Every structure is written in C-alpha cells, then in structure tokens.
Amino acid sequence: MADPDELLDVYDAAGAWRGVKGRAAVHRDGDWHRCFHLWVLSGDAVLLQRRAVHKASWPGKLDATAAGHVGAGEAVDAGGAREVLEELGVAYPPGALVPVGVVAIEDTSGGLVNREFQHVHVVEDPRPLEAWEAWDRHELDGLVRMALGDFAALVGGAGSRPADAWDGERVSRVVVAAGEVLPARYLPGLPAVLRGVARGERDLQL
C-alpha cells in the first residue's frame, strides 16, 4: 500500500534537486519526482501488471510490469530493485535491467498533480506465466502476457488485442481494450525498444 508519508526527492523541471517532501505533499503540490518503470520482455511478448481494483489511482488498469517511486536519497537502480522485489517477488542480478530512457510526464487525472521523471528499464525473463508465483496479491490482481506485435498495435491505436491473463491460479485467454492500458507518452515507441533489447542491443533510448 502506498505510504503518504514516504519521503521523495523533489526537483525542478530541469532536474535540479530542490529538497525532500512526503509523497502526499509531492502530489498535492505538483512537485517533480522520480519513478521507476520496468517492462519484462518474455520471449516475443511483454508482461503487464493488472493493478488491484482497490487502488486509489488507476484501479484495475494495466501498467508496466513493475512501477513505483524512487525514495529520497535512493539511487534509481536501488529503488527499482526494491520495487521489483516488492511487486513481483524477483531479485534480478546487477546489470540485468537495461535502462532505455528517462521520460518527463505531467498528469492531472485522478485528482492528483503528477509530475514525474520516469526512469524506464527493460529486462528479459522468458519464464511462462504460471512460473510467476511471488507477485504481491495486494498490489496486483495479476499479470497479462501480450505478443509484441499485438502490444505494438494496441499502443499504436488499435481498439483491442488478445492476450493471456494469469491470476495466480489459472491462465485464461482475454481481449485487452486500449483503454485498459494506463497511458504513458512513451508507449508508442516502446515496442521497437523491446525488440531491440531482444536482439541484444543495449544502447536504446525511447
């Protein structure tokens, strides 16, 4: 569960550090802060998390495989590793996560003012959906695996695409509508980056 008193580093729009504030105050005041996004590349597919339906922001939506805030004084890599362990129950070795860019976003939906520097990473993990057993059942309602071609079509404007959904007990075939994916302005360029990582490229940028 998100802690409103969690301390975050805050920045100006140019990325200069301006101090430390509690998470609730950061969103209330619209301060720039750092977030971490991880996308798991599963063979020729990508994994998305299904946010729990009780969450205050974007309940039930599909999001990056793991995502969260980087804490005050925390390095991005360390904050990312913490989020991945908390949400997915996985500890990846150093160097496994490929950084693919930092994207600045401003979002005023949901009653919050969100100004984030999103540090986006990709990791390759070919395990089948059923092998993902340690994810946080409170924060996530499950995982969805979508072929890269279908994901590219979906974020490129297609109305819906097929996928496989895992709720911790069974895998079922589903149809994902474009409106189910939490918006991020880097999404249209993400499929090409994922394909590049799959080819072994490590100097990619969104």
Pairing, β 114-124 against β 32-42: parallel
For the question of whether the overall pTM of this predicted structure is more than 0.75, the answer is: yes
Please give the pLDDT value at position 183: 87
| Contacts of residue 11, Cβ cutoff 8 Å, sequence gap at least 6 | 17, 18, 31, 32, 33, 34, 117
In angstroms, the CA 65 to CA 80 distance is 12
Helices 190-198 and 148-155, axial angle in degrees (round to 10): 160
What value, to the nearest 5°, has the Cα angle with vertex 162 and ends 161 and 165? Answer: 125
Beta-strand runs (E) in the chain: 7-11, 17-22, 32-42, 45-51, 62-63, 66-69, 98-107, 114-124, 140-147, 160-166, 171-177
Q: What is the pLDDT of residues 97-146, one digit of tens each?
A: 999 999 999 987 766 778 999 999 999 999 999 999 999 999 999 999 99
Mean pLDDT of the chain: 93
Q: What is the pLDDT of residues 4-49, one digit of tens each?
A: 688 999 999 999 999 999 998 998 899 999 999 999 999 999 999 9
The 8-class DSSP code of residue 138 comes to: T
What value, to the nearest 5°, has the Cα angle with vertex 159 and ends 153 and 164? Answer: 70
Please give the pLDDT value at position 2: 61
Residues in the chain: 206
Domains of the chain: 7-198 (3.90.79.10)
Please give the pLDDT value at position 83: 94
Arithmetic mean of pLDDT, 37-65: 95
